[in-house]
Amino acid sequence: MPKFAANLSMLFTEVEFLDRFEAAARAGFKGVEYLFPYDYPAEELKRRLDANGLTQVLFNLPAGDWAAGERGIACHPDRVEEFREGVERAIAYARVLGNTQVNCLAGIKPEGGSDDQARATLVENLRFAAEKLAAAGIRLIAEPINTRDIPGFFLNRTEQALAIFDEVGSDNLKLQYDIYHMQIMEGDLAPTMEKHLARLAHVQIADTPGRHEPGTGEIHYPFLFAHLDRLGYDGWIGAEYKPAGRTEEGLGWLDAVRS
């Protein structure tokens, strides 16, 4: 059976962030992920993890001014130094939290910039981050994101991402495959995950349309969960969706997988 992690940036928002660790554990999750840890002391987050028997599965590198609409800076030529400082900050948090993988958000292509310039910057930043994180025993992952929800997001298809990874040339860089985003951008979910299984380090889920819990839209999640089991995928699956109602009321999909 797949291992599921609750994304605390999106689930259990009925309570304050630090109380979501307990809520996730009570609901049966064994791991958690979230967008960013940086607003809280690492030691306090670690205390919440330990108190609830949870594994810290994933968080993102610093991604610029999120409140202002930035969604990553890794493809921004004028933000390289800021990106590198963010890598060091993420390593410091990961060491305290016991986190073994960190996600890089490529970002929205800078206005007026070329695709070639954005790509070259992303390649160099990923190469830097992969090396630094490897030295700390942490895996770097990166994900394509759909351009309907985030217009202009530079990394937006599986094959594009893997071609960039090939150019980076690091064994410490793997793919985060978000089923919701890739259903919107390209479909063909099961064959894509099978083809690239060896490069797949993390999966995230939400249904479409709506980005709500599995079972509320067009994606046949029971088949995909069984498919990942058949393939021997042993990584985590992050529940990164917007509950249609109260989080606990929409966890029937998880109960069905366990039964």
Catalytic residue ranges: 143, 240
CB atoms under 10 Å from CB of 67, counted, come to: 6
Nearest to 38 by CA among 108, 85, 74: 85
Count of beta carbons in the 10 Å neighbourhood of residue 191: 10
User: Could you identify the residue written with the tokens 């998880």?
Assistant: 254
**59: helix, strand or coil:** strand
Q: Which helix (H) or strand (E) holds 175?
A: strand 173-178
Cis amide bond preceding 209, omega within 30: yes
Residue 43 CA to residue 46 CA, distance in Å, equals 5
Q: Please name the residue that has the structure tokens 């917007």.
A: 242
**Ramachandran angles phi, psi of 147, nearest 5°:** -90, 5
Amino acid identity, position 206: A
